[in-house]
Amino acid sequence: MRVARVARARGVLDRVARASRCARARDASASARSSASTDARLERAPAASPASPRFRFEVLRASTRSNARAGMIHTPRGTIATPGYVAVGTNAAMKAVRGDALRRAGIDLMFANTYHLMLQPGAATVEAMGGIHAFMGRRGPVITDSGGFQVFSLGTPDRSANAKGKTKELKSRKATKHRRENLLIDVSEEGATFRSYRDGTKMTLTPESSVLSQKQIGADIIIPLDELPPYDIDRETLEESVHRSHRWMTRSLETHLKDVRQQAMYGVVHGGVDRELRRMSVEYLSALPFDGLAIGGSLGRDAAELGALLEFLMPLLPKHLPNHLLGIADMENIEHAVANGVDTFDSCYPTQVARHGTLFTRSRGRINFRRAEFRTSTEPACEECECTLCTKHTLGYLHHLDRANEPLAWSLASEHNLYHMGDKMRRVREGILNGEI
């Protein structure tokens, strides 16, 4: 059964890959492809079936009041309840938080970054340690990205006078300690060449090498390599980037299908805020045997633009496949995403702001525990929360730990925000199942 399904998937992929190679040749001759020709080609392509036979998505209820839906993603290492928040553990670890905190918080899926794991300790080392689950002692499912976002973020930030006119977007690639110099050397049809921020080693990330690294790491859901252009980009360049991403993702999928194992692969929809390009990207990727679709690239300047994009885009996605919103999971955008039918979303935002003094609570809203008013508070952060902070400690104690630079403050605050996210998504799912959302 599994062999037959994979064989059918490869047949679909071969047909679309031949079309992709023809498109690549036309690109080489500097002849732009029109979306109309792409639409016609994809209309002739047969419907694709998922490549991984042990990965299944089940819709439990679709809302009649919005496009929200509640479901279950079944993986070999457990079930993911949707809609669901995905916690980010960049280096196969949650900063200042024990791994079992996710299970206790009701968060089913964890995100790890291929780029960082390639550099330290190395994908081969993770494989030698038994894969990422054995390496970090995690039983639940894990998703890894391709490494592309981090690689394309290695370019030197624009600090010129013209930078003041640049549009700030939701997923801005801000200057970091790793970007004092331009570490992104070249981007070609082959892939992206860059220098490691750790030791300056020159490396090339290709669609094939990204997938092979993710095979070594051993995540349950993997992402193909894609290009990540910024918000401020002309339409022609953006279209060229989308087509390149499609070619890279086709090559990624070809590599994945040669050795599926128990992994699922999500394609990544691109096109910035250009609706025609987004539609074309959905149609292209839907013709390939991906197990789900992620929404990537530039997602707009603010929550309003993201909301408008999702309202247009989400009805175009195949209903039988799970979807994932890459890199966005703040409170305001989660509500818009859920209402538009997003199944999962990842972000380091909840734990990042926790380490800088912000707690999310049901009873108080957002609070800054560094404020002087909490210095002598004998109350818990949130009466409804069951985390360690709220059941055993006071806001006054947390305020003291932070002022004393005790790492326990980061741990307690981060765990609390994870509990809040898990509880919020549980209530959202119940609302959908009860017909309230």
Q: Are 379 and 120 in contact (CB under 8 A)?
A: no
* 346 is a catalytic site residue: yes
CA 88/CA 144 separation, integer angstroms: 10
Catalytic one among 145, 226, 343, 423? 145
How many CB atoms neighbour CB 259 within 10 A?
10
| pLDDT, position 14 | 58
Each residue's pLDDT, cut to its tens digit, for the chain (437 residues) gives: 444 444 554 554 555 445 445 544 444 443 334 334 434 433 333 346 677 778 999 999 999 999 999 999 999 999 999 999 999 999 999 999 998 999 999 999 999 999 999 999 999 999 999 999 999 999 999 999 998 888 887 775 543 334 455 667 877 555 455 555 788 889 999 999 988 888 888 989 999 999 999 999 999 999 999 999 989 999 999 999 999 999 999 999 999 999 999 999 999 999 999 999 999 999 999 999 999 999 999 999 999 999 999 999 999 999 999 999 999 988 889 999 999 999 999 999 999 999 999 999 999 999 999 999 999 999 999 999 999 999 999 999 999 999 999 999 999 999 999 999 999 999 999 999 999 99
Q: Are 60 and 433 in contact (CB under 8 A)?
A: yes
Q: And the tokens for 64?
A: 């009649």
Catalytic one among 108, 343, 346, 423? 346
Q: Which residues pair with 150 in a beta bridge?
A: none
Q: Are 289 and 49 in contact (CB under 8 A)?
A: yes
Q: State which amino acid sits at residue 50.
A: P
Buried b (16+ CB within 10 A) or exposed e, 294-312: bbbbbbbeebebbbebbee
Structure-token match 């003291």, residue found: 400
Structure-token match 């190679």, residue found: 21
Closest CA to 344 of 171, 433, 221: 221
Which DSSP string corresponds to 297-359?
S---SSHHHHHHHHHHHGGGS-TTS-EEETT---HHHHHHHHHTT--EEEESHHHHHHTTTEE
* 234 is a catalytic site residue: no
Alpha helices, H only, 29-147:
35-44, 100-105, 114-119, 123-128, 132-136
Residue 327 phi/psi, 5-degree rounding, is 80, 10
Domain ranges of the chain: 2-82+113-347, 356-433
**Angle, vertex CA 187, rays to CA 181 and CA 193, nearest 5:** 60
CATH of domain 2-82+113-347: 3.20.20.105
Cα 336 → chain centroid: 17
CA distances (Å), 112 to each of 133, 146, 255, 300, in order? 11, 10, 21, 24
Which letter does DSSP use for residue 264 in this model? E
| pLDDT, position 182 | 83
